[in-house]
Amino acid sequence: MDDAAHRERLERARLKNLEYMRKLDEQQAAREADALLASVAKQFGPQYATGEKDYDDLTRERRGVKPHANTAVVTRQNTSVYVTGLTTYIACKQLEGMCAKIGKVRRVKFYKDERGGLKGDATVTFGSHAAMERAIERLNHFEIKPGVLIT
């Protein structure tokens, strides 16, 4: 067997092994997710595992607070966007200014490593769900500086 054919056979075997390992990882993750949902259902009840109720419902139940019959149920919508791909020297005001063009910015939180340096990601909380959706559309793969794409 010549050297090129041998390398090709080894590469095919490597790719097959990687695919097999990926499938095993997915199966393990599915088992762990099922176990987590089962433990949540066992501990709090099946309605928490299926998403019918959430943490706020649980805390209200534990405190004995019942919703009034004449109040409309208000569902909270997410207003935050997680931004990655930032350079470690980007200024908070620069990101906030860019996001302010999209909608009202309530908060910008930069994540730091154990030494206090910026990690290159942040959470931007907008004033409304609509502004958050616009930010996702406009900021995904946006070039904030030449050669610096944020996601």
- Span 28-46, pLDDT tens digits: 877 877 777 677 667 666 6
E strand intervals along 98-146: 105-112, 118-126, 142-145
Q: 123 by DSSP, 3-state: which?
A: strand
Please tell me the pTM assigned to this model: 0.49
**What is the chain's Cα-based Rg?**
23
**What is the reported pLDDT for 9?**
92
In 7-101, DSSP assigns E strands to 80-84
pLDDT digits (tens, 9 = 90+) for 108-136: 888 888 888 888 888 888 888 888 888 88
Lookup result for tokens 């490593």: 113
Q: Which of 100, 83, 62 is nearest to 139 (CA)?
A: 83
Burial bucket for residue 83 (CB in 10 Å: 0-12, 13-18, 19+): buried
What local confidence, expressed as pLDDT, does residue 53 receive?
63
Instruction: Quickly state the pLDDT bin for 1 (edges 50, 70, 90).
Output: low
150, β-bridge pairs: 142
Amino acid present at 51: G
Going from the C-alpha of 80 to that of each of 83, 99, 134, the distances in angstroms are 10, 12, 11
Question: What pLDDT score was predicted for residue 48?
Answer: 56
